[in-house]
Amino acid sequence: MLVGSDGAPDPELVVAWRGGDERAAGQLVHRHAAALGRYLAASGATSADVDDLVQDTFFKAFRGLDGWRGDGSFRGWLFRIAGNLLKDRFRQNKGRIFLEIEEHDIAGSADPAGELAADETGRLLQQGLLRLPRLQREVFLLRVQQGLEYAEIASALGSTTGAARVHYHHAVKRLKELLA
């Protein structure tokens, strides 16, 4: 359960929003939007789609807030919605994955070879993530990037805690093989 600078945990903000407090919705968006964006981008959403998907996630969440029973984290529930929207977007694109090519300028550094090796490792890791099966990739990102516990991951993905652990283990093993 996340607590904001105002001290209100997510469930209290949800109750406040249901009671008509628009500021509560703004606080929830402010608290979770960046994490959703990082999750979606790392899950394969193009940078052009990330903002739209984040907005769609909150739109769908606030319209269907009665679907959140409060038995899992609000953030986990948002990740589940975002993941489903991303799958829908993937289906609309008929399974095509669009990779963006970015220009990198390596800044001067005391260890240019180390910078280059780190850049290459990052590129290999990103490629490896795209090669993982969807569930392994989602579990890995929710665990490593978002810091969610296995129970929260299971709730977000509609799975069990044990399955989340297994998917994470397999994801780590495959990524290590790719980076070796």
Q: Please, where in the chain does CATH 1.10.10.10 lie?
A: 123-180
CA distance 115 to 159: 39
Q: Please, where in the chain does CATH 1.10.1740.10 lie?
A: 1-96
Helix (H, G, I), strand (E, B) or coil at 133: coil
Bridge partners (DSSP) of residue 9 are 3
Query: What is the fold, at CATH topology level, of the domain defined by 123-180?
Result: Arc Repressor Mutant, subunit A (1.10.10)
SS (H, E, C) 19-63: CCCHHHHHHHHHHHHHHHHHHHHHCCCCHHHHHHHHHHHHHHHHH
CA distance 153 to 160: 9
CA distance 175 to 136: 10
CATH for 1-96 (2.70.98.60, 2.30.40.10, 1.10.1740.10, 1.10.760.10)? 1.10.1740.10
Task: Return per-residue pLDDT of the chain as tens, 180 residues.
Answer: 454 445 689 999 988 988 888 899 899 999 999 999 998 888 888 877 889 999 999 999 998 887 777 777 899 889 989 988 988 887 776 655 544 444 444 444 556 666 666 677 777 778 888 888 888 888 888 888 888 888 888 888 888 888 888 898 888 888 888 777
